[in-house]
Amino acid sequence: MSYYDQPLLKPPVWTWEVPTYFFVGGAAGAAAVLAAAAQLSGEDEQLVRDARWIAAIGANLSTPLLIADLGRPERFLNMLRVFNPRSPMSVGAWTVAVFGATSTAAVLSPLGKDFFAALSAMTGLAMSTYTGVLLGVSAIPVWKENATLLPVHFGASALGAACSMLELRGHKQRALNSLALGAALFETAAPSEKHTLMRTAAALSGPIPFVLRLIGKRKAAAAATVLGSLLTRFAWVEAGKSGVRQP
């Protein structure tokens, strides 16, 4: 709908920091979950350590990216003054804060690393999906229409990216390949918006790494997946902007 050929909704004013934050935070959250799963299953300690470091680095990059978009640090701090479980923005701000603290403590604290790692994994699960929820509850038509898909899509994309980052670090566990293969299969089957950036992101996240993994080219598949996961966030943000611009 429009009024004198002008869109009724204003397009999002987000710049590159927000989709980058979506990607970094999502991959970090999934890495924290992978670290906990690897430890519980008795996997190589180096895999656990690397996954925790990916989570911690991603968590500590997420906050400045979010603050850069908000413009002033006090805006982020103001969101922490009250916890509102019915507000995705409030839940998200608290998730970022708790995930950042616990994932950092999981790699740097001399005591209680496993305790902090468990908390990091719990909040990491939310980190990998909540940004999809955040988009879905907005008034932007294309996001609202895909409110059910977005959290699952972001979660699968984050899982694929985290597995791929660990593979690029040199880890060759079969479980990583299986999880990344599953994420690529989901990306291949998932519906997407029909514009160039989304199609490029979908190809790099889905069929390309899926085929590469089947023929044993795991590092090439991992590189494609990480790039595709990043572009997926930019593509969804751009889809929201483009949909609103059309009168």
In degrees and rounded to multiples of 5, residue 11 shows phi and psi of -70, 155
The closest alpha carbon to 29, from 112, 116, 123, 166, belongs to 123
d(CA 73, CA 90): 15
pLDDT tens profile 18-55:
999 999 999 999 999 999 999 999 888 999 999 999 99
Please report whether residue 3 resides in a domain: no
Residue 186 lies in a domain: yes
Total number of domains in the chain: 1
Judge whether 2 lies within some domain.
no
Is 231 part of any domain? yes
Residue 50 belongs to a domain: yes
The pLDDT value given to residue 92: 73
Paired strand residues for 6: 3
Distance CA 94, CA 118 (A): 17
Residue 115 is assigned to a structural domain of this protein:
yes
Domain that holds residue 209: 8-245
pLDDT tens per residue across span 129-177 = 999 998 998 888 899 999 999 999 999 999 999 999 999 999 999 999 9
Residue-averaged pLDDT of the chain: 88
Is residue 93 a part of any domain in this protein? yes
Q: Is residue 1 a part of any domain in this protein?
A: no
User: What is the Cα–Cα distance from 35 to 184, expressed in whole angstroms?
Assistant: 20
When pLDDT is cut at 50, 70 and 90, the band that residue 192 belongs to is confident
Contact 207, 190 (CB under 8 A): no
pLDDT for the residue 4 = 46
User: Tokens in use for 93?
Assistant: 């701000």
**Assigned token pair, 200:** 């490029």
Q: pTM of the entire structure? A: 0.89
Say how far residue 57 (Cα) sits from the centre of its chain.
14
Nearby residues of 139 by Cβ (< 8 Å), 6 or more positions away:
9
Q: Find the CATH number of the domain harbouring 152.
A: 1.20.1630.10
